[in-house]
């Protein structure tokens, strides 16, 4: 028999998370998560899910009936959109200006579809003119897929303009809003987004592991008219909807699909409730304001931003590592001496940039002040 290992309870330190996610979780959200677990078909839990759905609809600014939280992180939200909507042999125009656009391309290939890639430089927004050219060159394309807020570089793309182009060319849109939701303006219905996914651990400041997703009626029609079943059983939304649909007083309609992550859903409910109480527009403004404060301090230290101001994300600040500075060494000192986490560069920016997140609960003056003070001291 294998001897029982003697291991102490895990007690993480209290860090300040200013990387690309997870972000600092609201204390109220951590408290919500530790409340008693109840059955996932308990009428009280079902009523909580109904509220959660309306909170997700508010955050996305959509009245889409098919709006829910996938029981897995943002990557599963991405996969949910591709495996449900795209069928083998179809053509998808995929915009790639960082790590997550490339992941979209891989998702397209894995469902047996063809990805037409529109490349833009790392640190640049997706260029609508390039997308328009691709749409014209491929009139048989069925989808346009792009990342609204590219967390690997800190660039914000014009989702409204890109969706308008897609509509003109009869394409459905698949939009990654993992980092944008709650941090910058996002209007799913007004902009005509067909399929969108996000994550709990970025600007929502919830615990990691859940992915809010919404499909427009046109996306639902596409799903219903599939010629083949969705390849993934777990992510098949035609099955999941049996659990998320129905109402508290119509419990019979809800059928077991998988055991919902009950406590994590309490946490998401609380984080979205906090967002609704603050108001979306106020939250967007707070992120913009905190970016301005950070920017002044960063530029005061002589550090340059990667992304041009016109397309820069307030919640994800990619900055060039100053000449002659030890990337990993600085991040280690910040973590050990200040309990502060900032993000390393990813992909083409690995070793060249740091990524400073101002996400959700983390977009506060105290955090900006701590980050600037710590960076100044460590760099000196």
Ligand X SMILES: *Cc1c(COP(=O)(O)O)cnc(C)c1O
Give the interface segment with ligand X, choosing from 69-77, 268-276, 337-345, 372-380 (CB under 6 A). Answer: 69-77
Strands 211-215 and 340-344: unpaired
Smallest gap, in angstroms, from Cβ of residue 36 to ligand X? Answer: 26
Residue indicated by tokens 């000196």 = 380
Contact between 82 and ligand X per CB under 6 A:
no
Smallest gap, in angstroms, from Cβ of residue 11 to ligand X? Answer: 24
Q: Which is nearer to ligand X, 46 or 78 (CB)?
A: 78
Q: Which is nearer to ligand X, 147 or 334 (CB)?
A: 147
Q: Which is nearer to ligand X, 176 or 270 (CB)?
A: 176
With CB under 6 A as the contact rule, the residue among 61, 75, 114, 285 that binds ligand X is: 75
Cα angle 278, 15, 265; round to 5: 50
Smallest gap, in angstroms, from Cβ of residue 201 to ligand X? Answer: 6
Contact between 334 and ligand X per CB under 6 A:
no
With CB under 6 A as the contact rule, the residue among 23, 57, 64, 151 that binds ligand X is: 151
Give the interface segment with ligand X, choosing from 40-48, 52-60, 175-183, 327-335 (CB under 6 A). Answer: 175-183
Give the interface segment with ligand X, choosing from 57-65, 74-82, 269-277, 319-327 (CB under 6 A). Answer: 74-82
Binding mask 125-144 for ligand X (x = CB under 6 A): --------------------
Contact between 100 and ligand X per CB under 6 A:
yes
DSSP 154-207: TEE--HHHHHHHHHHTT-EEEEE-TTTTTTS---HHHHT-SEEE--TTSTT---
Contact between 154 and ligand X per CB under 6 A:
no
52 Cα distance to chain centroid: 17
The length of the chain in residues reads 380
CA–CA distance, 46 with 280 (Å, rounded to integer): 25
Contact between 261 and ligand X per CB under 6 A:
no
Dihedral sign, Cα of residue 158, residue 163, residue 168, residue 171: positive
Give the interface segment with ligand X, choosing from 171-179, 183-191, 282-290, 351-359 (CB under 6 A). Answer: 171-179
Q: Number of H helices and number of E strands within the chain?
A: 13, 13
Nearest residue to 346 via CA among 1, 19, 11, 18: 19
Is residue 64 within 8 Å of residue 213, measured between CB atoms?
Answer: no
Nearest residue to 119 via CA among 143, 135, 99, 95: 95
Contact positions with ligand X (CB under 6 A) in 201-240: 208
SS3 306: coil
Nearest residue to 302 via CA among 331, 324, 280: 324
Distances in Å between the Cα of 118 and the Cα atoms of 55, 165, 219 are: 34, 14, 23
Smallest gap, in angstroms, from Cβ of residue 93 to ligand X? Answer: 18
Q: Which is nearer to ligand X, 15 or 138 (CB)?
A: 15
Give the interface segment with ligand X, choosing from 72-80, 297-305, 307-315, 330-338 (CB under 6 A). Answer: 72-80
Smallest gap, in angstroms, from Cβ of residue 252 to ligand X? Answer: 33
Contact between 178 and ligand X per CB under 6 A:
yes
Q: Which is nearer to ligand X, 32 or 210 (CB)?
A: 210
Distances in Å between the Cα of 295 and the Cα atoms of 5, 78, 290 are: 48, 31, 8
Q: Where along the sequence are the contacts to ligand X (CB under 6 A)?
A: 21, 73-75, 78, 100, 147, 151, 176, 178-179, 199, 208
């Amino acid at each position: 028999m294998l001897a029982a290992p003697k291991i102490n309870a895990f007690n993480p330190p209290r860090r300040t998370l200013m990387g690309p996610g997870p972000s600092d979780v609201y204390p109220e959200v951590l408290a919500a998560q530790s409340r008693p677990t109840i059955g996932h078909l308990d009428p009280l839990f079902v009523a909580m899910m109904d509220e959660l759905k309306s909170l997700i609809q508010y955050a996305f600014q959509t009245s889409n009936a098919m709006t829910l939280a996938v029981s897995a992180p943002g990557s599963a939200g991405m996969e949910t959109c591709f495996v449900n909507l795209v069928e083998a042999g179809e053509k998808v125009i995929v915009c790639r200006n960082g790590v997550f656009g490339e992941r979209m391309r891989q998702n397209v290939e894995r469902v047996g579809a063809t990805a037409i890639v529109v490349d833009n430089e790392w640190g640049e927004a997706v260029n609508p003119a390039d997308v328009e050219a691709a749409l014209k060159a491929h009139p048989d394309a069925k989808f346009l897929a792009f990342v609204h807020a590219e967390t690997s570089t800190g660039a914000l793309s014009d989702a409204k303009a890109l969706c308008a182009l897609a509509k003109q060319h009869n394409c459905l849109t698949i939009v990654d809003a993992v980092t944008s939701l709650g941090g910058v303006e996002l209007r799913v219905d007004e902009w005509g987004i067909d399929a969108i996914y996000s994550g709990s651990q970025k600007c929502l400041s919830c615990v990691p592991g859940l992915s809010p997703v919404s499909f427009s009626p046109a996306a639902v029609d596409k799903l219903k008219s599939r010629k083949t079943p969705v390849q993934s059983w777990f992510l098949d939304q035609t099955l999941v909807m049996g659990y998320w649909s129905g109402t508290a007083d119509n419990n019979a309609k809800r059928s077991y699909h998988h055991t919902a992550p009950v406590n994590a859903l309490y946490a998401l409910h609380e984080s979205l409730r906090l967002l609704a109480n603050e108001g979306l527009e106020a939250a967007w403004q707070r992120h913009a304001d905190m970016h301005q404060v950070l920017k002044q301090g960063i530029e005061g230290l002589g550090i340059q931003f990667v992304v041009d101001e016109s397309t820069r994300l307030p919640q994800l600040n990619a900055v060039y590592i100053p000449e002659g500075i030890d990337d990993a060494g600085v991040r280690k000192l910040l973590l050990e001496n200040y309990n502060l986490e900032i993000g390393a560069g990813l992909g083409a920016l690995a070793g060249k940039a740091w990524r400073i997140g101002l996400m959700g609960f983390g977009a506060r003056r105290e955090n900006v002040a701590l980050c600037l003070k710590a960076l100044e001291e460590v760099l000196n």
